[in-house]
Amino acid sequence: MIITCPHCQTKYQVTYEAIGSAGRKVQCAHCHQAWDQHPLSADLPPPPDADQAFSAMAEDQLDEAMASEEKSFAVEAALNRASQAGAAALPGLNAAEMKKRQADFSRRRNAMISRLPLARVRRAARVLGMVGLVALLSTAYFGRVHIVDRYPDLAGLYAAMGMGVNVVGLEFSNLETLKTLSGGNDVLMVSAQIVGLTAEPVRVPPVVVSLLDADGHAVYEWSVTPRVRDLMAGERATFDTRLSLPPSEAMRVRLSFAGGNGVQTERSGSADAGQASAPAPIEHQ
């Protein structure tokens, strides 16, 4: 007798006894689909296309094919259960061990990346950039006198950062003022010392004496040429000057060096002037 798979239309030739009078459930060896095969009459003639059917399969061969399929289903189910059990066991792994493995992996990866040519170029560029920045800052700090001497406008920037720049290389000390009377007129006498700061001799420029009012505005100025031509570190020179009939609104005295580049070095401070028959004090800075 011939049975046909209702799913893939594959035909099989089996004996009547393999199906029985009550029918049975069979499975296709080609598409592995199962169906309930109803009993067929043993007297029915074979269909016209029986010669196109597959070779006859004995009952024991059919049973063997079906048993093999059942075993494959069982193996697949066992594998699924094993994979599910493994996935359920993953959260139970030691967190410290996982962290250690991840750190080891990252360390190995970074070591491999650091050996690449591009990584070496980047590392060298960073080192050169840092060295260049340090060199630039060092030059701006230790060479600030030469920088301001060449670019006077930068003096304000250094002053804003709290780094005053003495371009002249000289400073004032022991500034004294005295207001007295001479021939019935007020006379203001100013004296101070000029101190050298550099190891090389520095030309002493003219000294500008400014009289300031209470608001710090200059009300009168004059210049004095010191008797010395140059000074070096540790050397001092005294200068003095006097002014007849100083302005009555003058309250302070300011000394500064007149530089060729327009930059002035000032002496700042305050003190009471000596008095000789003059009641008004003169301050200096």
SS3 annotation, 122-169: HHHHHHHHHHHHHHHHHHHHHCHHHHHHHCHHHHHHHHHCCCCCCCCC
Domain boundary, last residue among 59, 85, 111: 85
What span, in angstroms and rounded, lies between the C-alpha atoms of 89 and 63? 39
Burial label for 278, CB within 10 Å (0-12, 13-18, 19+), is middle
What span, in angstroms and rounded, lies between the C-alpha atoms of 18 and 24? 9
Q: Classify residue 125: in a domain, yes or no.
A: no
What span, in angstroms and rounded, lies between the C-alpha atoms of 278 and 176? 16
Q: Give tens-digit pLDDT for 64-96.
A: 666 666 666 666 777 777 666 655 554 545 677
Is the same domain home to 174 and 81?
no
Q: Classify residue 120: in a domain, yes or no.
A: no
Element (H, E) at 113: helix 95-114
Choice among 83-92, 165-174, 235-244, 270-279 with the minimum mean pLDDT: 270-279
- Phi first, then psi, for residue 72 (nearest 5°) are -65, -40
* Cβ atoms within 10 Å of 3's Cβ, excluding its own: 21
What's 249's domain CATH number? 2.60.40
Q: Classify residue 146: in a domain, yes or no.
A: no
Q: Give tens-digit pLDDT for 232-261.
A: 888 999 888 989 888 888 888 999 888 644
Q: Classify residue 136: in a domain, yes or no.
A: no
Domain boundary, last residue among 31, 64, 85: 85
Q: Classify residue 81: in a domain, yes or no.
A: yes
Residues 201 and 248: beta-carbon distance below 8 Å = no
For 15, the domain range is 2-85
Domain boundary, last residue among 52, 85, 118: 85
Q: Classify residue 234: in a domain, yes or no.
A: yes
Is the same domain home to 79 and 179?
no
Looking at the 3D structure of the chain, how many domains does it have? 2
Q: Answer whether 0.75 is exceeded by the pTM.
A: no
